């Protein structure tokens, strides 16, 4: 039964950013409805928060991958590309300064 309740909550939360307070309120509602025991509140809240954090990280990773792919496809320079160019310019500047 508890697994079913947790899965329902997980599905209801989705990948939306959720505060601990909101999760606790949801769990309190389940306790009031008799679907969860008071003793299970702390572990249930903790389990849900872990799942939410995991989902948030998965969304962030998907967005990061999509942005990196778009940057490559558009041929835009990355931060690393710019840093590499700066280093090359510094070397050229030093070389030119030493020749003057």
Query: What does the pLDDT look like over 72-90, one tens digit per residue?
Result: 899 999 899 999 999 999 9
Q: Is residue 98 part of a domain?
A: no
Structure confidence at residue 16 (pLDDT)? 54
Q: Is residue 91 part of a domain?
A: no
Q: Is residue 90 part of a domain?
A: no
Of residues 53 and 87, more confidence is placed in 87
Q: Predicted confidence band at 4 (pLDDT cuts at 50, 70, 90)? A: low
Q: Is residue 49 part of a domain?
A: yes
- How many angstroms separate the CA atoms of 27 and 82, rounded? 49
Among candidates 60, 53, 59, which has minimal Cα distance to 23? 53
Q: Is residue 42 part of a domain?
A: yes
- How many angstroms separate the CA atoms of 34 and 97, rounded? 79
Q: Is residue 41 part of a domain?
A: yes
Reading the block at residue 62, the tokens are: 């998907």
Q: Which residue is associated with the tokens 């300064």?
A: 97
Q: How many domains does the chain have?
A: 1
Q: Is residue 36 part of a domain?
A: yes
Host domain of residue 52: 2-75
Distances (CA, A) of 31 to 11, 25, 26, 28, 57: 18, 10, 9, 5, 29
């Amino acid at each position: 039964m508890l697994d079913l309740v947790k899965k329902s909550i997980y599905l209801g939360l989705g990948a939306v950013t959720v505060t601990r307070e909101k999760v606790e309120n949801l769990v309190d509602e389940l306790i009031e409805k008799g679907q969860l025991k008071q003793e299970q509140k702390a572990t249930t809240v903790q389990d849900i928060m872990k799942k939410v954090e995991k989902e948030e990280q998965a969304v962030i990773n998907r967005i990061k991958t999509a942005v990196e792919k778009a940057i490559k496809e558009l041929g835009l320079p990355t931060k690393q590309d710019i840093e590499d160019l700066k280093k090359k310019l510094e070397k050229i500047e030093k070389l030119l300064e030493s020749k003057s």
